[in-house]
Amino acid sequence: MANSVAFRPVGPSHAISVGTGTGGTAVTITPNGNDQVNFAGFLNTNAFPVTITISPTAAPTAVAPTAGSPTDTVVLGISMQSPMVIAVPPNSFSVAGVAGSSGTIYVTPLVAQN
């Protein structure tokens, strides 16, 4: 049997606006209580991909990668049916996103249940 990990939300989910070109404003995600965030679930329900930047401090403006110009970003696929779980900096972290059109992504701070 394969190993599996259960995740538990440790803070509220956030709706984050993403913009075109220069991206949206960075949003800081902070857990509730004494739990330490280790992961976050990212969900893009838009009909276009969204590029996000994650940082332990205020996230820089997200920039989509182009041929010959890689970036330190994560690309979320279109019309996601379930969140992509990504390891994030512990405790609070910032997220900013950019896309070809304006839209919204959803972020939920998570902790792994052992």
Give 109's strand partners. 40
**Per-residue pLDDT, 31:** 85
**Per-residue pLDDT, 112:** 87
Q: Where are the chain's structural domains? A: 6-113
**Per-residue pLDDT, 59:** 66
Encoded tokens for 64: 């989509």
**Per-residue pLDDT, 90:** 86
Mean pLDDT in each 10-residue stretch from start to end of the chain (114 residues)? 78 89 79 84 95 84 81 91 93 89 92 81
| Domain 6-113 is found in CATH 2.60.120 | yes
**Per-residue pLDDT, 46:** 94
Strands 74-76 and 50-55, by their bridges, are antiparallel
**Per-residue pLDDT, 22:** 64
**Per-residue pLDDT, 6:** 87
CA distance 93 to 28: 6
At residue 14, what is the residue type?
H
**Per-residue pLDDT, 105:** 94
Give 99's strand partners. 20, 50
Look at the block and give the residue holding tokens 């976050």: 40
